A and B are shown apart, each in its own frame.
Chain A
Amino acid sequence: MSTSVLIVDDHPSFRASARRMLEASGYSVVGEAADGAAAIAAARELAPQLVLLDVQLPDIDGFEVAARLKALDGAPDVILTSSRDGADFGTAIAESPARGFIAKAELSGASLAELVE
């Protein structure tokens, strides 16, 4: 059975591309959210196994969203992503409960599989 994924990003063009890429790589995209609050609500409702979470969201900071997602029952794995380089965030990524970080430019089924498995 394919891994269920929730995509959280405020740019629709990115969400569309990511969905296509993930689906092409064998993931099952169960939902999309454009901001942090919608992401937490969607995660509660859809209980995805994996959340691809943009760091810069219009409402709540991505790291904060990651922490809240990890506090849910049956917390999903969180993969942070951003159009910035991981180094731009200093130690925040290492300190967050997220499983890992992938720069958007590096995002592919293979890079995701590397972190999740």
Chain B
Amino acid sequence: MSGLRRALIGLAGLALLIGVAVAALILDSNHASPRGLLLGLILGAGWSFAFTGLYAWDRRPGNNIGPLMTAIGFTWFFQGLQAADDSILFAIGTVGGTVPFAILLQLLAGFPSGHLQTLLARGAVGLAYLVTVPLQFVWALFVDPTVQRDCDGCPKNPILIDGYEGVSNAINAFQVLGGIVAIAIVIGIVIANWRRSSETERRVLTPVVFTGSLAFTILLVQLIIGELGVSNTVKELTYIASITVFACLPFAFLVGLLRSRIGRAEEVSSALTIENEQLTAELQAKVEELRASRHRIVEAGYAERRRVERNLHDGAQQRLMALTMNLRLARDKLAEDPTATAELLDEAMEELATATAELRELARGIHPVLLSERGLRAALGGLADRSPVPVEIIETPEERLPDAVEMAAYFVVAEALTNVARYAEAEGATVRVARHNGVVEVEVSDDGAGGADLDAGTGLRGLEDRVAALEGSFGVRSSAGQGTTVEARIPCA
């Protein structure tokens, strides 16, 4: 059992004992009337506030509502002390009897969070405490209950300062006025809260708003008719009505509080639904992106095959065709014109050498054999050597990387350097490939014209897809006149 629960059980026991003691006072009183009703209402409201408050405290330890309800229950018993024949107890009951109304107002204004949200609410509750605690005490100094409350059996006021009846009346008038203002403001706040609440919130607020407003309306009536000098029977009836409604209030708070738990669960569920929808949308976007990227990769594959076919057709194949014709011609001329034949054969050898070089270049474009055999450093060196723009290799990893990562890094550099040579009008370029914290960073920068665009069809989009296929990221920084930097970050555990 937790410490809190033990303390709460202790408080429940204390409430029980105080209730029994107060009951004994009422039963033994020679001025309290009607005793049975008073007994039922004091114990009913006191215990119901204390026990439901302790229950709420236990169920929602982080919320102020439970402690406030418990405090109302305990202070409620002060009213019972007014039944005491002992003058000290009677005085304590007189001074403390109004405190629970201030706490109740605080509870109502701050329901269901337990916090007073606005300055107006804090002002109203502050006013309620002012009139029920310090002013009540001051008022009690000048009140002789046997005279002013028309109570013959009441004990003498032990703290009475006699002869200032006017002062006590003035204080009482101020208390009544302050109480009416505070109650009116809080009822206004509660109704305004209710009006702008959602349906779920209303389910929490409705029992409290209804019972609380009813209780305080009755209290207002009670305060007002108290000033009008109506008959004691009417006063007693309104007193009974208010006490009865007050006894019902804690259950309304409890119902509201427990509903707020359910409401909280509904809020969480609705938040989860929204989050779920967001995740689904993100996932859908990701799927669309993947679909597009897969489509582009397949397209890039076809485009690459077309490029290879085109290069073979336009390059080596044409040269070999020409070579065939030259050789055929050379054969035909061999007997009649040996000089022309020799020239034709020279030309044929030149064509053959060029065709061989073109085939080598083409093969390198399909798969860089230097990369697979000797690694990234050697392959990037080869790219730098063949680049028409001077290229400085700043950094490359010492160790071999996984094949897919090496290939991606190589093609990023190769394509970027091709673009530098074709479009950048650069004086030079730098290449940096570094492995940090499980990521291979590839960076190719030039000092050229800038203005490169991922969507301009310069092969950058294909690189992005190649890098994305390895869960990496790809970016191009290029503003006019500022050069271009192509960056790729490829995960490499």
Contacts and interface: CB of A to CB of B under 8 A. Distances in A.
Interface in A1-40: 11, 13-14, 16-18, 20-21, 24
B441 to A, nearest CB: 41
Interface residues of B, number: 15
B329 A105 contact: no
B328 to A, nearest CB: 6
Most A-side CB within 10 Å, residue of B321, B329, B351:
B321
A91 to B, nearest CB: 22
A34 to B, nearest CB: 13
A14 B351 CA distance: 11
Given A13-B351, A83-B313, A105-B324, A24 B318 contact: no
B326 A17 contact: yes
Nearest to A16: B322
A107 interface: yes
Contacts of B329: 17, 20-21, 24
B317 interface: yes
A25 to B, nearest CB: 9
B325 interface: yes
Interface in A82-117: 83-84, 104-105, 107-108
Contacts of A84: 313
B328 A11 contact: no
Interface in B109-145: none
A14 B322 contact: yes
B296 interface: no
Interface of B is mostly: helix
Contacts of B332: 24
Interface of A is mostly: helix
A80 to B, nearest CB: 15
B321 A83 contact: yes
A21 B325 CA distance: 7
Given A11-B318, A13-B318, A83-B318, A18 B313 contact: no
Contact of A108 (B314, B322, B328, B333): B328
Interface string B279-321: 0000000000000000000000000000000000110011101
A78 B326 CA distance: 23
Given A20-B329, A24-B329, A83 B351 contact: no
Contacts of B328: 21, 108
Given A21-B328, A108-B328, A14 B333 contact: no
A104 B322 CA distance: 8
B324 A13 contact: no
Given A17-B325, A21-B325, A108-B328, 7 more contacts: A11-B314, A11-B318, A11-B322, A13-B319, A13-B351, A17-B321, A20-B325
Interface of B: 313-314, 317-319, 321-322, 324-326, 328-329, 332-333, 351
22 contacts: A11-B314, A11-B318, A11-B322, A13-B318, A13-B319, A13-B322, A14-B318, A14-B321, A16-B322, A17-B321, A17-B322, A17-B326, A21-B325, A21-B329, A24-B333, A83-B313, A83-B321, A84-B313, A104-B324, A104-B325, A107-B325, A108-B328
Interface of A: 11, 13-14, 16-18, 20-21, 24, 56, 83-84, 104-105, 107-108
